[in-house]
Chains A and B, each alone.
Chain A
Amino acid sequence: MLNITPNIIVKASQLRKVYGKEKTVAVDDVSFEVNRGEVFGLIGPDGAGKTSIFRMLTTLLLPDGGSAMVDGNDIVIDYKKIRSNVGYMPGKFSLYQDLSIEENINFFATVFGTTLEENYEIIKEIYVQIEPFKKRRAGKLSGGMKQKLALCCALIHKPKILFLDEPTTGVDPVSRKEFWDMLKRLKDQDITIVVSTPYMDEANLCDRIALIQKGKILSIDTPNAIVAAYPDALMEIKADNLYYLLRDLNAYEYTLSCFTFGEFLHLALKQNNVNSKLELNTYLTSKGHQNIIINPVTPTVEDCFIKLLHD
């Protein structure tokens, strides 16, 4: 049996999921713990196994190995209890497109044996934003509004834990920011949130994150601790021709890693001292680059992720 301390609400132990005849391993011995009341993020690219983990934790899939407890219930044995007590928002918008906002919320409220009035306080802040359109059918809503509606439906029964599978994928930046603000406020209502996202910039908004790739967890910690653990000095570099710049930097003898990061390149050197920047500048000038900008930069979660991938 798993040993659950009161503070841990989700505990996954060596969860494993294998698909198909080829035995493709989607989730490979994943273990993590989520503390009560925190926002826990699973960060990783598409195909990393995030959705499979979510589906196992929400009892939709049986694990092929390992076990997990959600709020003290085993995901295989006590699946019925888990189903009544968690909120789940799948990656794809999965509400009834031909029902109105109001009808969708009322339907899911009844399914969970409650009413909109009873739990209005929980969803109030989100609901007021879409309430003016409550007679409109879900299929005719914008992406951001659909997402708010889906969140309302997942929250209507006041779940202790909320599982959000890529809630911000395909949503515009403004709505994404709004959404994360909403999540922060939910945290104040003692709802634990487990969220997955492919966007590295959203990692900083979580209390703790697990970086995941190809079904394996690379690192689990707070975003700050993960960034602090970055071992190398990082520079951002820009010049007129980014393409040749990248080629030349990769050919540079002291380069540890170099990759594009927005309009800059991020470069980590094997050895870093006071003269590094100067030497680099000389090297690049000798290669004919112009308007060279070199700045030291603090690493982001994405840098850490790439670093972990290369190790």
Chain B
Amino acid sequence: MKFFTNWHAVHKEKMHNMKRLISFVKKEFHHVLRDPKTLMILFGLPIVQIMIFGFALTNEVKNSKIVVLDQSKDASALQLLNKIEASRYFEIEKSVTSRDEMEEAFKEGKIKMAIVIPDQFQHDLLHDNKATIQIISDATDPNTANMLNTYVNSIINDFQSSLMQGTNIPYRIIPEIKMLYNPQLKGVHNFVPGVMALVLMLVCVMMTAIAIVREKETGTMEILLVSPFQPLMVIVAKTIPYLILSLVNVTMILALSVLVLDLPINGSLGLLFAVSTLFIITCLSLGMFISVKTQTQQAAMLISLVGMLLPTLLFSGFMFPIENMPLPLQIVSNIVPAKWYYIMIKSIMIKGLGFMYIWKPILILSGITLFFIVVSIKNFKIRLA
């Protein structure tokens, strides 16, 4: 009997907690939906960003990793490859023996380009004075792909003229260029994932941080603390509306990309949303962390902007290719959540890859999220000061 009454009490408490949570979430929605400024940032920002970043960005590319499929293995091929390797633009990651292997390297995202030298390259060159060579680029980032093509072309031209030196035989090497994943070289392919990462980062981190700190600043936290409300629930309730609104945002950006910018979604939509949800939760946990560590809305905003937005812009690989950065910065980029999200979104949306290719970023993001959730809860103050 006692057990039953106990159980009943526990059950009743759970019901109360659920009701509290729902009413808190409802309140949060009111806060968001009644503030025009918040709404502007929430929904105006992504649209504006998509428009602004539509203008492509130029950037220099150095030391791009490539693979070589040398089917001829003759002297001329070796010479040409040495020339390519010697340039500061390329770095031969490895030589592969089959096209399958080459494709695998592309899918892993390690390489930007593959050069296929056909069988009897030297034979063709010397007897027909004309040989072909295949250049395959990863065009998910069209700017980089274009630039790499130009570089490799000039190296081939260079090689050509050195062959012709002292003879008047018109040797010709014809490069066959193939753009992988993004044959029309659409810039949107590149910036849509970038904008998604940026917008989610901004909305989730800054908004949640501010929303929680606002309760401290206006004194409502003081009342909430002197109530049966669990601190953990304050945090959860604060984040739920932003999770939902951010998912609306993701849908909006994707719809805009598909309908207005004609961008196809090659991979699984479900996986895309699953990954986005994970990233949103990562951002929310970051926002939570900032909010427990700051006392004023201004401080929360400043830290979110400087501490989150800038690294996102710099280290996600969206604006500046990470492979061009000095090693220390490349290492730093690993702790920027947006980098992993950007990689995943590009893989799913543009390359159409499945879970097997992105489990690593998923694991890393989950780790980061868990870390910040635990630290936030540990640091949540159950008292003032």
Q: Which A residues form the contact surface with B (CB < 8 A)? A: 55, 58-62, 79-80, 83-84, 86, 88, 90, 92-99, 103, 106-108, 110-113, 153-154
The answer to whether A58 touches B27 (Cβ under 8 A) is no
Inter-chain contacts of B30 with A (CB < 8 A): 98-99, 103
| Cβ–Cβ contact B220 & A94, under 8 A | yes
* Interfacial residues of chain B within 9-40, with CB under 8 A of chain A in the complex: 16, 19-20, 23-24, 27, 30-31, 34-35
Q: Are A96 and B226 in contact, with the CB atoms below 8 A?
A: no
- Residues of chain B at interface, number, CB under 8 A: 25
Q: Report the minimal beta-carbon distance from B322 to chain A, rounded to whole angstroms.
A: 42
Residues of B within 8 A of A (CB): 16, 19-20, 23-24, 27, 30-31, 34-35, 218-220, 222-229, 382-385
Name 20 interchain pairs, CB-CB below 8 A, sorted by A: A59-B225, A59-B226, A60-B225, A79-B382, A86-B226, A88-B223, A88-B226, A94-B218, A94-B220, A95-B223, A96-B31, A97-B218, A98-B31, A99-B30, A110-B19, A110-B20, A111-B20, A111-B227, A112-B227, A113-B20
Residues of A within 8 A of B229 (CB): 111
Q: Report the separation of the CA atoms of residues A142 and B227 in the bound assembly, to the nearest whole angstrom.
A: 26
Q: How far is the CA of A94 from the CA of B384 in the complex (A)?
A: 14
Contact A90 B27 (CB under 8 A): no
Docked CA distance A98–B34 (Å): 7
Cα of A60 to Cα of B223 in the assembled complex, Å: 10
Output the least CB separation between B142 and chain A (Å): 45
A108 / chain B contacts, CB cutoff of 8 Å:
223, 227
B241 to chain A, nearest CB (A): 14
Residues of B within 8 A of A59 (CB): 225-226, 383
Q: Inside 8 A of A94's CB, which chain B residues have their CB?
A: 218-220, 222-223
B221 to chain A, nearest CB (A): 8
For the complex, give the distance between the alpha carbons of A237 and B320 in Å.
82
Residue of A nearest to B230 (CB): A80
| Complex contacts, B19 vs chain A, CB 8 Å | 110, 113
State in angstroms the CA–CA spacing of A78 and B27 once bound together. 29
Can you name the residue of chain A whose Cβ is closest to the Cβ of B228? A84
3 tightest CB-CB pairs across the interface, nearest first?
A: A94-B219, A110-B23, A113-B16
A86's nearest neighbour on chain B, judged by CB, is: B226
Rounded to whole Å, the gap between the CB of A87 and the closest CB of chain B is: 8
